Chain A
Amino acid sequence: MRELEDQKMLMQTVFSPETETDPGLTIQKSLVLHRFHEVISHAFPLWYARVEEDAFVASLYAFMQQGAQSPQIWKTPDAYRKFIHTEQLFRQMPYVDDLLWFEWIEVALIMRYYSPVEVSTFSYDKAYRLSESGVLKNLNFKVFETDGIEQSGTYHLLAYYDFDTDSVFFREISEVLMLFLDTLDHSSLTEAITAIAELSESTEAEVMVFFEDTLRELLALRVIEER
């Protein structure tokens, strides 16, 4: 079928890094590349500033060839981020996965839909979970600080959408709070308290006192919510 063959040829051409001689094809290629370049470089400004342009464009072509699937272009940077990880590209920048996650999660949290809720007062008698506006991540590089991007270590990060300022905040948290929130997300508040008490060789009452103010604040910020 000549119509399909022509479309396949055109797709191959626009997704190929090879230079074209035909002016019409050259323009079609550049327009498609521009779309990918714009949305991905804008989503990852910190990373884009650190990568060589030629290498970046080469990665875009490689990404285009494997197929960006979402009809919604704003989701493309997430697919690109996963592609970079799967294909193990830019491994000379060992922080690349963490940095791309860090930049993407800001976009993702901004674009997420949040139902209006009335924030209630905190009580250990209620059941809680991490809300959609909060995300936990263990990082191997301090990508959340501009001067620390290449600094390796173990970092626990809480990213959340702040409803007062309509922006995304990042907070480095302790390992114990990370574990607590992570456990809370998968089981009950009681189980989370028990787990932390066992780990820290504390009583459950001590754990409850230790976390109460933090949980109160996180509830007010809508980082956690009632189940």
Chain B
Amino acid sequence: MNNIHGLGLGLRLNFLQDIQADGFLPDWWEIAPENWFDMPYYYREKFEETIALRPVVAHGLSLSIGSMEPVDRAFLQQMKDFLDRYGIQHYSDHISFTSLMGAQTYDLLPISMTKKMIHHISEKVKIVQDTLQRPLILENASYYYLADSDMREVDFINELMEHSGARLLLDVNNIYVNGMNHGFDPYAFLDQLELKYAAYIHVAGYRKDKNLGMLIDSHGAAVKKEVWKFLAYTLGKVQIPTMIERDNNVPPYSIMQKEYHTLEKVVANARA
């Protein structure tokens, strides 16, 4: 990731009015491109000013790379136009699916972890990369239902990265949440993950659903202590750009600034 270094922050609509060129800025922004294909008219100028201040990674939700059907080429062209318009070099999405037979879910659904799926996604990755003329980065997703699979998740991701040529967006919160929900050790998972494929790191908050006894990757709360600890462990193994993701219950920019400073400390301590 040639122009992405240091620490990033997800850019949200409600931050725009508080962002100043001479104020606090992260090293880079991550944006959800589908949310910015169209935007309120009065935000457009400010959005363009803001993303000109720092390098940007586009992190999408609607690619649906894991759906067992062809890539939506119209969507892909729309994405390319957007990335080209704003000169965004890096694009990521999730190892999951969000649409099937024309119906969108707007949330990530888990895919079968099988050799056939690896082959299928790898073919789609080639089309995506050829069309976008950019490398594709794929995030290890959180899941609650375990799809019909015959591989362990860590083996699936390693093999997918090797065969597809995609890079990995390493979401440490997702590893932690999946580990707790599905009974594996996140540290052992990380030890077995081929980190040479990792491009950048996500860290986010989760919440506990007490009724169902599962952790939810909500992106709607501050990062938990145990995830900071797990991030520190991760950073001891791989030093790549790292960012905080917050999509729900988004607090004011000033609060995210504080969490960003916590991230700075965790990264500095891990590297000390």
Contacts and interface: CB of A to CB of B under 8 A. Distances in A.
A39 B34 CA distance: 14
A71 B75 contact: yes
B97 A7 contact: yes
B72 interface: yes
27 contacts: A3-B120, A7-B97, A7-B100, A7-B109, A10-B110, A10-B145, A10-B147, A11-B100, A14-B109, A23-B144, A23-B214, A24-B144, A28-B107, A28-B109, A28-B145, A36-B106, A67-B104, A68-B106, A69-B102, A71-B34, A71-B99, A72-B62, A73-B104, A73-B106, A76-B106, A111-B41, A114-B41
A111 B72 contact: no
Interface in A31-77: 31-32, 34-36, 39, 64, 67-74, 76
A112 interface: yes
Nearest to B182: A24
B148 interface: yes
Interface residues on A, range: 35 or more
A7 B68 contact: yes
B41 A31 contact: no
A6 B103 contact: no
Can you list the 10 inter-chain pairs with the closest CB atoms, starting with the nearest?
Answer: A67-B103, A71-B62, A24-B145, A166-B42, A35-B106, A27-B144, A4-B68, A24-B144, A23-B212, A6-B148
B225 interface: no
Contact of A3 (B101, B111, B144, B145): B111
A27 B209 contact: yes
A111 B40 contact: yes
Nearest to B145: A24
Nearest to B44: A113
A198 B211 CA distance: 71
Interface string B104-133: 111101111010110010000000000000
A27 B75 CA distance: 28
A25 interface: yes
B181 to A, nearest CB: 8
Contacts of B147: 6-7, 10
A61 B107 CA distance: 15
A128 interface: no
A72 B103 contact: no
Determine chain A's interface SS by DSSP, over half rule: helix
Question: What size tier do the contact residues of chain B reach?
Answer: 35 or more
B146 A24 contact: yes
Contact of B212 (A3, A11, A27, A67): A27
B109 A73 contact: no
A3 B117 contact: yes
Task: Find the residue from A6, A74, A161 having the highest chain B CB count within 10 A.
Answer: A6
Given A6-B147, A7-B112, A166-B40, 7 more contacts: A2-B148, A3-B114, A27-B209, A27-B214, A71-B72, A73-B104, A166-B41
B37 interface: yes
B183 interface: no
A161 B144 contact: no
Interface of A: 1-8, 10-11, 14-15, 22-28, 31-32, 34-36, 39, 64, 67-74, 76, 110-114, 161, 166
Contacts of B34: 71-73
Contact of A67 (B44, B102, B106, B110): B102
A7 B109 CA distance: 8
B199 to A, nearest CB: 23
A15 B104 CA distance: 10
Nearest to A11: B100
B37 A72 contact: yes
A26 B37 contact: no
Chain A CB within 10 Å — which of B101, B105, B117 has the most?
A: B105
Contacts of A72: 34-35, 37-38, 62
A27 B105 contact: no
B39 interface: yes
Given A3-B116, A7-B111, A67-B103, A22 B145 contact: yes
A10 B32 CA distance: 25
A161 B214 CA distance: 46
B103 A32 contact: no
Contact of A2 (B35, B109, B112): B112
A59 B238 CA distance: 48
Q: By CB atoms of chain B within 10 A, which of A3, A14, A24, A70 has the most?
A: A3
B100 A32 contact: no
Contacts of A161: 41
A63 B37 CA distance: 24
